[in-house]
Chain A
Amino acid sequence: MVDNTLTEKVLLATGGYDHTIKLWHANTGVCNRSLTHLDSQVNALEITPDRQLLAAAGFQHIRMYDLNSSNPNPILNYEGISKNITGVGFHEDGKWMFTCGEDCSARVWDLRSRNLQCQRIFQTTAPITSICLHPNQGELILGDQSGLLHLWDLKTDHNEQLIPEVDASIQCVAIDSSANYVASVNNKGNCYLWSYNGNGTRLSPEHKINAHRKYALHCKFSPDSTLLVTTSADQSALIWKTSDFSLKQELKDQRQRWVWDTAFSNDSEHLLTASSDGMARLWNIESDNIEREYEGHQKSLTALAFCDPYS
């Protein structure tokens, strides 16, 4: 028998254009809750490290939902931003939250309600499309529409820019969990990889993959850093090996449309994808089989959040 508490520990949330966020039983494909996300699409979803809250980034708001109640409405609303918020994430201890948006800024929000010491802002000249946190918890990596990759050191406030390709908008940035590689994908479908050297302080270009023929949307490293997934408007998700940057698997389905977001299972054997056909899918990476489908959204899915805890 499947342990019930185990089922509840694995969290899967999806959101998109239909103004709802759905929570799923990842192993059965049954939707167990729907949350309201009024007046806006969902650009990004993230579960807090303590697994209590779900953050949804939308137009002008970051809304937080209580995962342990049945309340379909948000309990926290972060606001005061003029445009779309495109990315959201958390410090590993939940001390602060970071966001990026089309208002050309990246922000660090202090999650303590009274003390706002940690509030920080970083501004650039182009809308920021993607943000990720270095595993050392002290650096943020941002990609913007002008094609610049920014490295923002929170400790020193020093920042560094990299230009992988001119006249190409960076769509997504990613860093692997052991901080060996940084990846970015752009609207030309190309994926650029850098590696850290010099004691993990300097980034140097490592590889370029002509990953997709169309607009690339998303990239992410697997938890064990051996795999990289890139997704695209060409309706596929491609799995690359980080050892030699060769293609390992192509995850494609007739019904699948643009693939906007992904998440690896903690053992890097499965991949979850969110697609414009309104479905999320669970793939077995080795066999490229679809093991589960999560169906229930009325419109495109653009974001998913997945929590696969190891006990």
Chain B
Amino acid sequence: MALYDSKHWLLSHIRNSFISSDDTGISEVVMGGENVLQTISTSKYDTYPGIEDNEEEEELAESLDIHTEFGVRRQRSHTAVQLERLQRNMMKSANVRHVKWEITPVSLTDEEKAELFPKKDISHQKKNYVSELSKLLKACPYLPINPFREYSKYDGNAQLGEATRKYSMFITMLNLERRNYPMQVSIIATAKVHDLIGLVCWKCTIEYPDCTLKDSVDCYALYIAEDDGEIDFDFPCLDSRETVAKFGFGFLAIVERDSKFAPSTSNHSPTSQEGNSVLSENVNTKAQQQLEGELNKLLAIEAPLYQLYHVNILNKVRAKIEIHLGISGQKIELDPVVKQRSSSTFPWTKQKPATYDMDCVVACDLTETKSNNRAVLRLVYDSTALSSSIGDSAPSQQGTAVWSNFKHHDFEAEQKVAEDIVQKINNILELRCSVRRQEYISLRERKSHRRRSFHLGPR
């Protein structure tokens, strides 16, 4: 029995804990050479098995109290593996009743034999040739042929004693609420990626009968996914000719091939304003529906990334000035486009460069959609908390938000771009959930309750 007041046990435990938990192996090198256990004097009452087995190298590193199940330190020997298998089989066979062949000690007399093995009279047998199977077959004479049936044989769950791989598979063909839950797929390790796709489709047809799939495995591809279902489009899809054992990813996503997953290409480059606004045209409508969820998620995640938009700012006299609107997770920058010849010499049309901290920004909405495919959006910010553009940062009066403190800018841009900007900013604001924004929203609500018909203040 191991007791904490036993020096030997403690020493051995600490020693082995170090050795078994140190992946670098240095602890083993340092401690392997000397055996402290031997140096400690032992009284005759101190019996601990660790001491006797010192001679053997194997025993040195093995504590009686640490059982490394999966060979943390070194590969288990072939014998150990075999022993474990034997033990497992023993456990299994413990539930099996074994009947050994034995001959009856006493031989049967002829009468006994005749009694035990009577011959049945079969001359007047009534027979019934009704088949339940035929009944069942007649009940569904035209069983639709499942194009993926041939892949069902790769199912790892149905195999015993074969090496298998387990994957959590996100199925992007399913509707939104079910798509986020991965399907557990087990496949024999020697199968190809192609077969894995087929198996997933086969399981889909069984588990989600309402999900319509294309008839061929070639219509689908597997991508690496995160555990939350986000698909990693940075990597190409898995080569369908490779064996599955080659890939060690636990989470995969099955994706219909022809959709090409446009967001992966269009959302990345921060300078492409036009391309960004539109999903590539090659996305067909069905795929677009399917991807909606993914897309929104992607946008939300990428929202804090810096992006530059080309827009016109509308000042008080509704004069347009071209500016660059730079949006990142931290701030919004307004930069007038510098032109060689200024289009206007009027001072009020000049736009100063400005930077708004994201904490000051409280809202961003589309206000107007024009017929010429352009839209106006309004950015509302808390002027009292402005830091960089005004210079002196007035201490924000927490809790006493005044309507007049909120100022706004109006921008005009192409409709798609405008929508993108609004979504991006709102995504960022949602992520940050600042106090000012909450104040603004509550203030706005109160205001709209008070004067339903008027909307004079910045909204």
A residues in contact (CB < 8 Å) with B: 1-2, 6-7, 9-10, 18-20, 22, 26-31, 34-36, 38, 72-81, 107, 109, 113, 116-119, 121, 135-139, 154-157, 177-179, 200, 223-224, 265-270, 278, 291-293, 295-298, 308-311
Say which residue of B96, B129, B162 sits within 8 Å of A310 (CB atoms).
B129
Interface size class of B (residues with CB under 8 A): 35 or more
B93 contact set on A, CB distance < 8 A = 77
Which of B92, B113, B158 sits near A154, CB closer than 8 Å?
B113
21 contacts between A and B (CB under 8 A): A7-B136, A20-B158, A27-B133, A27-B137, A36-B161, A75-B96, A76-B99, A119-B104, A135-B125, A138-B118, A266-B129, A266-B130, A292-B137, A293-B149, A295-B149, A295-B152, A296-B152, A310-B128, A310-B131, A310-B132, A311-B130
A270 touches B137 (CB 8 A): yes
Q: Does B97 contact A (CB under 8 A)?
A: yes
Q: How far is the CA of A30 from the CA of B110 in the complex (A)?
A: 50
B346 contacts across to A, CB distance below 8 A: none
| A71, closest chain B residue (CB) | B95
In the complex, the 3 A-B pairs of residues with the closest C-beta atoms, listed nearest first: A80-B101, A138-B119, A27-B136
Beyond A29-B149, A34-B158, 13 additional pairs, beta carbon < 8 A: A27-B133, A28-B140, A34-B160, A73-B95, A79-B100, A117-B112, A135-B122, A178-B122, A178-B125, A267-B134, A270-B137, A292-B143, A296-B153
Q: Mark B108-145, 1 if CB is under 8 A from A, else 0.
A: 10101110111111110101111111111101100100
Instruction: List chain B residues, Cβ under 8 A from A117.
Output: 104, 108, 112, 116
Q: Which residues of A contact B128 (CB under 8 A)?
A: 266, 310
Q: Which residue of B lies closest to A19 (CB)?
A: B161
Q: Is B136 in contact with A155, judged by CB distance below 8 angstroms?
A: no
B39 within 8 A of A: no
B95: chain A residues at CB < 8 Å are: 73, 75
* B121 CB contacts on chain A under 8 angstroms: 136
Instruction: Determine if B133 and A31 form an interchain contact, defined as CB atoms under 8 angstroms apart.
Output: no
**Alpha-carbon distance A116/B155, docked complex (angstroms):** 43
Whether A34 contacts B117 by the Cβ 8 Å rule is: no
B152 and A177 form a contact (CB under 8 A): no
A10–B136 touching, CB < 8 Å: yes
Is B159 an interface position by the 8 A CB rule?
yes
Q: Do A20 and B118 touch (CB < 8 A)?
A: no
- A178-B125, A269-B131, A298-B153 given; A79·B119 CB < 8 A: no
Nearest CB of A to B70, in Å = 23
Q: Does B59 touch A at the CB level, under 8 Å?
A: no
User: Residues of A contacting B131 with CB < 8 Å?
Assistant: 265-267, 269-270, 308, 310
- Cα–Cα distance between A80 and B98 once the two chains are bound (Å): 10
Report the Cα distance A15→B93, complex, angstroms.
Answer: 20
Complex CA–CA separation, A265 to B110 (angstroms) = 39
B112: nearest chain-A partner, CB-CB:
A117
Q: Is the CB of A265 within 8 A of B97?
A: no
Could you tell me the distance in whole angstroms from the C-beta of A195 to the nearest C-beta in chain B?
Answer: 15
Give the residues in chain A near B157, CB-CB below 8 Å: 34
Which residue of B132, B137, B152 contacts A31 across the interface (Cβ within 8 Å)?
B152
Query: In the complex the two chains form, is A10's CB within 8 Å of B133's CB?
Result: yes
Q: Are B130 and A154 in contact (CB under 8 A)?
A: no
A179 vs B122: C-alpha distance in the bound complex, in angstroms? 8
**Contacts A20-B158, A135-B120, A136-B121; is A79 near B133 (CB within 8 Å)?**
no
Tell me the bound Cα distance from A58 to B343 in angstroms: 94
A79 and B132: CB pair below 8 A? no
Contacts of A109 in B (CB 8 A): 99, 101
In the bound complex, residues from chain B placing their C-beta under 8 Å from that of A139 are 119
Q: Which residues of B contact A19 (CB under 8 A)?
A: 160-161
Give the residue among B101, B103, B155 with the most A Cβ atoms within 10 A: B101
Contacts of B143 in A (CB 8 A): 27-29, 292
The answer to whether B117 and A155 touch across the interface, beta carbons within 8 angstroms, is yes
Contacts of A178 in B (CB 8 A): 122, 125, 127
- Kindly provide the distance from the CB of A224 to the nearest chain B CB, expressed in whole angstroms: 5
Given contacts A117-B108, A136-B121, A310-B129, contact A74 B102 (CB under 8 A): no
- The answer for the CA separation of A28 and B92 in the assembled complex, in Å, is 32
Instruction: State whether A136 and B160 are in contact (beta carbons under 8 Å apart), knowing that A79-B100, A156-B110 are contacts in the complex.
Output: no
Cα separation A148 to B152 with both chains bound (whole Å): 43
State the CA gap A119–B122 with chains docked (Å).
25
* A residues less than 8 Å from B135 (CB atoms): 6
A224 to B130, CA, bound (A): 11
Q: Say yes or no: B161 contacts A266, CB within 8 Å.
A: no
B89 contacts chain A at the CB level, 8 A cutoff = yes
The one of B117, B129, B149 in contact with A267, judged by C-beta atoms closer than 8 angstroms, is: B129
Q: Is the CB of B158 within 8 A of A157?
A: no
In the complex, the answer to whether B133 meets A270 with C-beta atoms within 8 Å is yes
Is residue B150 within 8 Å, beta carbon to beta carbon, of the partner chain? Answer: yes
Whether the Cβ atoms of B102 and A116 lie closer than 8 Å is: yes
CA distance A49 to B163 in the complex (A): 36
B188 touches A (CB below 8 Å): yes
B219 at the binding interface (Cβ < 8 Å): no
Q: Do A118 and B116 form a contact, CB below 8 Å, given A80-B102, A296-B153, A298-B188? A: yes
Among A116, A266, A268, A297, the residue within 8 A (CB) of B153 is A297
In the assembled complex, the Cα of A70 lies from the Cα of B137 at a distance in Å of 26
Q: Does B206 make an interface contact (CB < 8 A)?
A: yes
Question: B139 and A27: CB pair below 8 A?
Answer: yes
- Chain B, residue nearest A199 (CB): B123
